[in-house]
Amino acid sequence: MVLITNIKRWWQTEPAMTQLLLGLTVAVFLVEWLLGGSTATAVLYLMGAKNDQAIIAGQWWRFITPIFLHMGLTHIALNGVVIYFMGMQIEALFGHWRLLAIYLLGGISGNIMSFGLSPDQSVGASTAIFALFGAFLMVGESFWENPMIRQLTSQFLLFTALNLVFDLFSSGIDIWGHVGGLIGGFLLGYIVGVPRMGKIPTLKRVLAGITLIIAWLAMIKLGFTNFQ
């Protein structure tokens, strides 16, 4: 009984979903290490890296598994810090389950865009992290009249832009995955809504949903076309 009470208190007072996602990410990294190392291409492929040829062969689950895979200790350490601090803020605004939807579906959006525009194998939570950035920018657009939200949004907009510019001049980074996650998170913010902040017009939510589905289908079709 005490355990159940403590779990309920944790769920109600802590960024529980953020902590669960981070814990799962670390657990998967440990499995990578046990299987032969997180920098081994074969291990990453085995565990579900985004690989265009495998996706075309029918392994659609590779749109989601890359979110939890990382290449090297530095990779997971940097992403882990951002997951925790950014996740806490988004979870405070959207709630547990909306955060989960944005994180997973936004990460999928990034991997779908990567499938359509990048032939390289890729892994990392960055697609989902950029989705969190996008969701926060959506809050800024929808509740711009709030001075605190306006100030934070300006800071996150600058931070996001700097990250994308950094991507352009860095090798080995899947910029299309980041862009896809950012756009996906922005649209998903409208779709799931932010009840703790206020109401999002129904028309905006419907248009966001239609736009996201069309974008997914277009990128998937492009990915198959590029392979032919």
Query: Residues with catalytic annotation?
Result: 126, 178
CB-based contact 64:52 (threshold 8 Å): no
Q: Phi/psi of residue 181, each to 5°?
A: -65, -40
| Distance from the first to the final alpha carbon of the chain | 59
Compute CA 175 distance to the chain's CA centroid, rounded to the nearest angstrom.
Answer: 13
CB-based contact 67:104 (threshold 8 Å): yes
Contacts of 101 (CB under 8 A, 6+ apart): 188, 192
Determine the longest span between alpha carbons in the chain, in angstroms: 59
Contacts of 99 (CB under 8 A, 6+ apart): 17, 18, 87, 90, 91
The string over 100-109, giving b where at least 16 C-beta atoms fall within 10 Å of a residue's C-beta and e elsewhere, is bbbbbbbbbb
Closest by CA position to 90, among listed 60, 135, 130: 135
CA separation for the pair 122, 175 (Å, rounded): 11
